[in-house]
Structure 1
Amino acid sequence: MITIEWKNNAVKIIDQTKLPGKFEYLYIKDIKTLWHAIKVLKVRGAPALGAAAALGVFLAIKNSKAENFPAFKAELDKIISYIGSSRPTAKNLFWGLERIRKTVLNNKTKPVPTLKKLIFEEAHKIIREDMVSCRNIGRFGAKLVKKGDTILTVCNAGMLATIDYGTALGVIYRCQEEKKKIKVYACETRPLLQGARLTTWELSRKGIDVTLICDNMAATLMQQGKIDMVIAGADRIAANGDAANKIGTYSLAVLSRHHKIPFYIAAPESTFDLSIKSGKDIPIEERDAKEIKELFFKEAMALPEVKVYNPAFDVTPHNLITAIISDKGIIKPPYQLNIKKVLK
């Protein structure tokens, strides 16, 4: 199963807003539709957004009438800025855009048709790299898991959040391949229920023993000794190891520390943002109040005048993270030093 690819002269994605009730592919043929698909989470997950950004640039510029480099670059800059305005937190989205920009700048003496071809090739290189990096994360992470362990996860950091494998769930898939007979508890992940709708869907398809819980049940499971470790994904990791991920991840890290349970973040090199010193500088997306008050309910669950605060992400401080499982290896504290060492 491929989450995102170029097919039939369009960006082909799985419409994740329809899952688990309906499995449907969308063929996106214009940049405004792709921007909207990113905004409303038809395609989501930090690594998948890197691929969406890169393919989006090609989609928008493939029919450019620019006859010289300055005109082409002006058009490219507008497209990159537009795609980047869709969602602010995931580093991979901007990393994908910058990969494309750098490819063009490094080949500015070449004709416009060649530049278009190079953009297309770079986008596919990003896709192929993700397939490899996620499997590396799985391979490194599985070394931390013992046979019969029970893992708690939040949101969706699996096939649907990447190209075809996963970061946090990539570790779980690797453990399955190694026949470690693990069990998984998945937090439902309010308010958009990515854990309930997406994680349980893809784990069930893979035949993995998964149990769904409400977000506020995690502490009780830990208290009962039912959780051996927590593995979460990330949307952006600062130079000091602070990690932004789906709202509720920080809560799990605090609970893990109290119950002396290892808490791991799993993410590829493209999620690290070494230009940001700490998590306080990571931009946090705030989303529509409707997601909390009415989206999955037959009728509104709060009065229209009730105010809503709906940050999509929180930041887990580095001192609560046992280790970061990257595609280059396991990164342990002190993160300020070891992130640079492992990612060099």
Structure 2
Amino acid sequence: MHVRGAGLIGCAAAYGMYLSLRNLSPTSNMQQVRECLEHASQQLRATRPTAVNLRVGVEKILQAVETALGQSEGDGGQQAAEEAARQEAVRITDDAEFCRRIGEAGAEILQQLYERLFGCADFSMPLRMSVLTHCNAGWLAFASGLQIGVRFVAQVDETRPRFTSISCLELQGKHGVAHTVIADNTGGHLMRTGLVDVVITGADRVSSCGDACNKIGTYLKALAARDNNLPFYVALPSSTIDWRLKDGADIPIEQRGDDEVKYAEGLCEDGKRRKVLLTPQSSAAGNWAFDVTPSRLVTGLLTERGLAEASEKGLAALFPEALPLESCFGCCSTPLELGQADRT
């Protein structure tokens, strides 16, 4: 696995579609362009079934190219390739801006929580609240909190078996955030003993009713947060919302290879990376990569347009154009179309 995070997976898929076009001859006809993209689409969709951004990235290129072909007036597929490149540039620009806005929404929530916990907004005081995060994207929600001076310490799940929180640690290191790496099963204990004030995670797909699919183990964190009366937020760009899907139980859950569970790879004292076997060689292993947290356990969704209630009504209030688009255009409507409204 070389690409992590739903947004980046979507961008990589769009680039993959574009690069497939570059393999064509400049004299390729429209049918050859369509066949090339269909083949690339099938290959890409099969790689990561859970993150909706991948499907969205593929579909946006397909739509853009089909529009370009309709306007090409018989000059082959060159214009389609150019249009695909343009759409990809728009896609990446949207996600970068959306991430900044998510950070602003997270900062506002953390500031309010800080004031409730400590009874003041004086961030110069040596008071820190504790944020538990699981997997990559949680950092988005509190990066901007640092800019306004909110003081906190991060409890960072290792997120076995991929150890995906390492990316989060790198980003936290750049911002100078105090953090502690904890084993995945430690979060419940920390919540029960008062060592966590809020949980913030990312998401790989969110249903239109607010069910959130994220790295395996997120559901358990949400259950522990609810049992200990702690807020549980999910940070995501709107490109991660699957407007076609209402029930999170219908999200396909990727199952990865046994070796990710049975082996661990790391840097040894001699500076070389090695992989070691953790289990008996003959043992089978189950490797479900994601789980789904029901909306009833989610305090709120942190998006580029602010905080949304984890419900169809709550999401529709922030993205009123999404559901009408779905009913009007059916399968042609994708979350990326929401970015058009944000750029006007």
TM-score range, shorter chain: 0.7 to 0.9
Answering whether residue 241 of structure 2 is matched by residue 272 of structure 1, we say: yes
The equivalent position to 1:180 in structure 2, one of 118, 139, 150, is 150
Tell me the equivalent position of 1:150: 130
Tell me the equivalent position of 1:328: 305
The normalised TM-score by structure 2 is 0.82
Gaps of 5+ in 1: 1-39, 158-167
Shift of 1:300: 1.8
CA distance in structure 1 between the aligned counterparts of 2:205 and 2:169, rounded to whole angstroms:
24
Deviations 1:9-68 (A, max 9, x none): xxxxxxxxxxxxxxxxxxxxxxxxxxxxxxx2x111100011101111111211312532
Bigger share in helix: 2
Shift of 1:188: 0.6
Matched-pair identity in % = 33
Question: CA contact under 8 A between 1:175 and 1:182: conserved in structure 2?
Answer: no
Shift of 1:201: 2.3
Tell me the equivalent position of 1:257: 226
Moved over 4 A (4+): none
CA distance in structure 2 between the aligned counterparts of 1:329 and 1:226, rounded to whole angstroms:
27
Tell me the equivalent position of 2:159: 189
How many residue pairs get aligned? The number is 292
Letter matched to residue 126 of structure 1: R
Q: Which secondary structure does the structure 2 equivalent of 1:86 belong to?
A: coil
CA distance in structure 2 between the aligned counterparts of 1:105 and 1:59, rounded to whole angstroms:
16
Q: Which secondary structure does the structure 1 equivalent of 2:54 belong to?
A: helix
Q: Which secondary structure does the structure 2 equivalent of 1:106 belong to?
A: helix
Q: Which secondary structure does the structure 2 equivalent of 1:144 belong to?
A: helix
Letter matched to residue 185 of structure 1: Q
Structure 1 residues 234-243 or 324-333, which shifts more? Answer: 324-333
Shift of 1:241: 1.0
Question: CA contact under 8 A between 2:133 and 2:200: conserved in structure 1?
Answer: yes
Question: CA contact under 8 A between 2:20 and 2:36: conserved in structure 1?
Answer: no
Answering whether residue 316 of structure 2 is matched by residue 340 of structure 1, we say: yes
Answering whether residue 8 of structure 2 is matched by residue 48 of structure 1, we say: yes
The normalised TM-score by structure 1 is 0.82
CA distance in structure 1 between the aligned counterparts of 2:23 and 2:144, rounded to whole angstroms:
41
Q: Considering only aligned residues, what root-mean-square deviation do their CA atoms show, in Å?
A: 1.4
Q: Which secondary structure does the structure 1 equivalent of 2:68 belong to?
A: coil
Deviations 1:113-135 (A, max 9, x none): 11111111111111111111011
Tell me the equivalent position of 1:80: 41
CA distance in structure 2 between the aligned counterparts of 1:282 and 1:63, rounded to whole angstroms:
33
CA distance in structure 2 between the aligned counterparts of 1:211 and 1:301, rounded to whole angstroms:
24
Gaps of 5+ in 2: 115-127, 267-274, 321-344
- Map 1:286-325; keep pairs closer than 5 Å: 286-296=255-265, 299-325=276-302
CA distance in structure 2 between the aligned counterparts of 1:125 and 1:299, rounded to whole angstroms:
43
The equivalent position to 2:95 in structure 1, one of 130, 134, 137, is 130
Question: CA contact under 8 A between 1:184 and 1:210: conserved in structure 2?
Answer: yes
CA distance in structure 2 between the aligned counterparts of 1:201 and 1:277, rounded to whole angstroms:
35
CA distance in structure 1 between the aligned counterparts of 2:276 and 2:289, rounded to whole angstroms:
23
Question: CA contact under 8 A between 1:229 and 1:262: conserved in structure 2?
Answer: yes
Tell me the equivalent position of 1:90: 51
Tell me the equivalent position of 2:340: none
Letter matched to residue 325 of structure 1: L
CA distance in structure 1 between the aligned counterparts of 2:295 and 2:140, rounded to whole angstroms:
22
Shift of 1:216: 1.1
Letter matched to residue 301 of structure 1: L
CA distance in structure 1 between the aligned counterparts of 2:230 and 2:140, rounded to whole angstroms:
20
Letter matched to residue 323 of structure 1: G
CA distance in structure 1 between the aligned counterparts of 2:63 and 2:164, rounded to whole angstroms:
33
Letter matched to residue 95 of structure 1: V
Deviations 1:224-247 (A, max 9, x none): 211111000000111221111000
CA distance in structure 2 between the aligned counterparts of 1:84 and 1:252, rounded to whole angstroms:
29
Shift of 1:79: 1.0
Tell me the equivalent position of 1:101: 62
CA distance in structure 2 between the aligned counterparts of 1:343 and 1:74, rounded to whole angstroms:
35
